[in-house]
Structure 1
Amino acid sequence: MAERTADGGASEGGSGSERIGTREAARRLGVKPETLYAYVSRGLLGSRRVPGGRGSTFDPAEVAALAARGRSGPGGPGGAEGAGTAETGAAESGGPDGGWGRIRSGVTHIDTATGAYAFRGVDAVALAEAYSFEEVAEWLWTGRVHPGTRFTAPPAPLAAARAAAAALPDGSAPMDRMRVAVVAAGCADPLRFDLAPEAVLASARGLIPTLVDALPPADGTAGDGTAGDGTAGDAPDAGGTTARRLWARLTAREPEPAALRALDTALALLIDHGLAASTLAVRVAASARAHPYAAVSAGLGALDGPLHGQASGLAHRMLREVLDRGSAGPVVAGYLRAGQRLPGLGHRLYRGEDPRARLLLARLAEVPDAADALAAARDTADTVARHKPLHANVDLALAVLSVASGMPAEAGEAVFAVSRTAGWIAHALEEYAEPPLRLRPTGTYAGPPPPQPLPRPAG
């Protein structure tokens, strides 16, 4: 078959079909030639050198399949999560599934127009109303709901996690203890490098309760199986729910059923929310084939900041000030005078109310001890609404839960981290199924132009 230039339309004959050149392949994929060759280097696309010439040729069927792969399926909305409006979308450069392009995900869909979000196509608020945190996590991981699911911490990883967390200085925050706990638990799991889905899920089902049980009980008991934490017990094989066990780590108060239900609802609602900064970090780590403990560590690291995981703590402190001063007016005025954004209000992904906040605040309305904190939150939202169309977001609802339950300001971040670990695992599983090392952005050098003279020793 006649051959044309490698960068033109058709080229050498292939196995029964005419191959195409670089320019044509790039055009069909809607990318630049550099991106096309990035696909080749990552194993997403095959190429063949032009005999006796420059450039490469490509199988048009393979190009079409890659293009279709990029168009098919519901692309993740790419909303990042943070404090109110501190969110950004996923990068959109590059082409289908290659380079730093849109990340296709079947985990969560967010509809910013209607203010709804879904886990694997099912309304996430409805799931949180109907099922426990563990059951929703299983749905996200497997597409099946197993009633009565409980997670149990394996003895060896739990012992390592507790020892590492206990070695931190007194007064260390729950997030500090969880960050070292996940590293220690991973070191104690010899199967952590097995990235088969069944092995990853087994690690996840043990890691979540390990993160919780590595925290010291709030009532000051040993927390190592020698002292109880209420009805759930504290031994590694105790069958309490994640919400019940986490409650005992965040407050010494005995929970009433409605309060425990609110905490479980919060855990179920927060499992995932698209490509938040921490979730993106997890996917990058998983793309490099980091094991699930290391991927979760990446998420915990990204979570540590006032614009993401700590947002509920800022809202907690604001609510405490409103309660102490008896009115939201002077507190709101103080924030505005200082040029500070009010935490817990507004969300860039939702034009109206955050659906997670709506359900969680409804749950908290059933808790008698939450009445004062709820009133303070409503007072704050109503005061701000006179000037700005901002609604309560889930950080404010978490703050109501933590204030009403006698929890520290850092409690909301701990709830967020435990819950989001389940979502991170779902995203890691997706990324393990993708070509490795695909999430590598192309940098633009902005330093002094080379060659520069060799630097002289200082001094």
Structure 2
Amino acid sequence: MRTDYLSAQDAAARLGVSLATLYAYVSRGRIDSRPGPDGRTREYSAGDVEQLIERKQAGRGAAQGAAHSLAWGLPVLETRISLIRPHGHYYRGESAIALAKSGATLEETARLLWDCGSHDPFAAELSHPWPAAIALLLHQAEVPPLERTVAALPLLALNAAHAHSIDPFHRRHDAALLLRETAALLCATQPSAQPIHHVMAASWRKDEMGLSQLVRCALVLCADHELNASSFATRVAASTGASLHAAVCAGLATLSGPHHGGAAARAHAFIQEMLRERKPVDRLRERLRRGEALPGFGHPLYPEGDPRAAVLLEALQATRPRPAKLSAIERLIEAVQAQCGRRPNLDFALASIASAYELGADVALAIFAAGRMAGWLAHSLEQQESGSLIRPRASYVGRAPQREE
């Protein structure tokens, strides 16, 4: 039978702490104490002790849950922007796949993601040329598209008309301009009021073979994907009050990693390697025996296959820009499926488009970045309007500090 009060030794033992820590809990008002029967010692509330134990256990569970949430785990914040289901993802309740198939543009998708309603922030005309510093940067052929864009955005921020405005119309106007400028920077061309997919396809001079509509479809499918690494980085930056330009720079930097947007470049290299092989199935078996990764295949959120890839590959097959090369890519997909059951993901689909049109890996990443920019801006706007700072705590597992004498 549990007593209402415990001796100091029993209370400390139940808590798993020293007597000094027990006394500290009492001094902070967390455990009640009273004089003991002999008048010389004290007793400690058993109820307070049990309540403190429960709080500790709950805290450990919450901390562990939060840690696991950061790696494909439980949700860590609320959003109205996008939702992922095994069969596809949604933008504010509307199917992204349906939007892509229906002919929606990235601009129309951005208006949905930014919750613009009847307001069209893309209605403004673009008339100003690039600032001299950015114009010079565009002529540096050795600078890759992503690095060029990351370098240019802080320079554009210097002249942004409403960089720190709290007016929602100002913010969305700046977002629309920034989306167009980003697409132009990625393609080393001038910003234009033309649809972004036309601007990008024209910059690669391949539009005569249907690339424009494939780019449009890919941009819409890439526009957002809930709280991925780059969107989370963008939200963290935006939560500090950073400008839209600064926040999306965080997204671009995160996208560059080989485990995120950089995976499209890895998939492109994998496709090129396999297309050069005389016996690609044998090479595939060799990779699998060695435990090597198959870039562009599998996705943790889509165990039955990435529906974004399925839509893009179907559209690519309908276009057939290079029938022989496309047939080889299709045989590669079938071989991987037969050997290990994995299906292509979005990275592979983007790399397939670039490969089929004989474009470089940078093109696959540029499409991804231009599309995802719409989502980063949506997350920035939502986070800024919430007014909250994202500041999680860390669970320290390093060497314990030495006790001071």
Q: What band does the TM-score fall into relative to the shorter chain?
A: 0.7 to 0.9
Distance 2:277 2:339 in 1: 21
Distance 1:413 1:361 in 2: 17
The structure with the largest helix share of the pair is 2
The match for 1:433 among 378, 385, 389 is 385
**Letter aligned with residue 400 of structure 1:** S
Shift of 1:258: 2.6
Rg comparison, structure with higher value: 2
Seen in structure 2, the aligned counterparts of structure 1 residues 324 and 257 have a Cα distance that, compared at 3 Å, is closer
Quote the offset at 1:155 in angstroms.
2.1
Aligned residue in 1 for 2:372: 420
SS at match of 1:256: helix
Partners of 1:125 and 1:356 within 8 A in 2: yes
Name the aligned partner's letter for residue 89 of structure 1.
W
Indicate if the aligned counterparts of 1:160 and 1:181 stay in contact, CA closer than 8 A. no
| Residue in structure 2 matching 1:205, options 176, 184, 190 | 176
Checking the alignment, whether the CA contact within 8 Å between 1:161 and 1:210 is kept in structure 2 is no
Residues in 1 aligned to 2:171 and 2:121: alpha-carbon distance in whole angstroms: 21
2:95 corresponds to 1:123 = yes
Distance in 2 (CA, whole Å) between partners of 1:181 and 1:111 is: 36
Cα pair 1:346 1:393 within 8 Å, conserved: yes
Decide which of 384, 391, 395 is 1:444's aligned counterpart.
Answer: 395
Counterpart position of 1:290: 242
Partner of 2:301: 349
Q: Does 1:89 align with 2:72?
A: yes
RMSD across aligned positions (CA): 3.3
**TM-score, with normalisation over the residues of structure 1?**
0.68
Mark the CA change 1:178 to 1:285 in structure 2 (over 3 Å): closer, same or farther.
same
Q: Check the 8 A contact 1:164/1:181 in 2, yes or no.
A: no
**Percent identity of the aligned residues?**
29
Task: Determine the structure 2 residue equivalent to 1:245.
Answer: 199
**TM-score scaled by structure 2?**
0.76
Letter in 2 for 1:111: R
Matches within 5 A, 1:334-345: 334-345=286-297
More deviation, 354-363/139-148: 139-148
The equivalent of 2:85 in structure 1 is 111
Q: How many Å separate the matches in 1 of 2:215 and 2:83?
A: 23
Q: Which runs of 4+ in 1 moved over 6 A?
A: 145-148
Contact 1:135 1:148 in 2 (8 A): no
Q: Shift in Å at residue 154 of structure 1?
A: 6.2
Instruction: Give the alignment of 1:293-312 within 5 angstroms.
Output: 293-312=245-264
Give CA deviations for 1:48-101 in whole Å, capped at 9, x if unaligned: xxxxxxxxxxxxxxxxxxxxxxxxxxxxxx999xxxxxxx32566xxxxxxxxx
CA distance in 1, matches of 2:340, 2:69: 22
Distance (whole Å) between structure 2 residues aligned to residue 195 and residue 331 of structure 1: 56
Measure, in 2, the Cα distance between the counterparts of 1:395 and 1:103: 26
Indicate how the Cα distance of structure 1 residues 164 and 423 shifts in structure 2: closer, same or farther if over 3 A, else same. Answer: farther
**Aligned equivalent of 2:153:** 182
Matched position secondary structure for 1:358 = helix
Provide the C-alpha distance between the structure 2 equivalents of 1:301 and 1:257, rounded to a whole number of angstroms. Answer: 32
Query: 1:151 and 1:390, CA in 2 relative to 1: closer, same or farther beyond 3 A?
Result: farther
Q: Could you tell me how far 1:408 is from its partner in structure 2?
A: 1.0
What residue is the counterpart of 2:113 in the other structure? Answer: 140
Q: Counterparts in 2 of 1:75-86, with a 5 A limit?
A: none
Partners of 1:136 and 1:148 in 2: CA distance: 12
- Shift in Å at residue 187 of structure 1? 1.7
Partner of 1:3: none
Q: Contact 1:89 / 1:275 at 8 angstroms: preserved in 2?
A: no
Instruction: Evaluate the alpha carbon distance shift between residue 271 and residue 327 of structure 1 in structure 2; reply closer, same or farther with a 3 A threshold.
Output: farther
After superposition, the Cα gap between the structure-2 partners of 1:143 and 1:388, relative to the gap in structure 1 and judged at 3 Å, is: farther
Distance 1:335 1:319 in 2: 13
SS at match of 2:84: strand
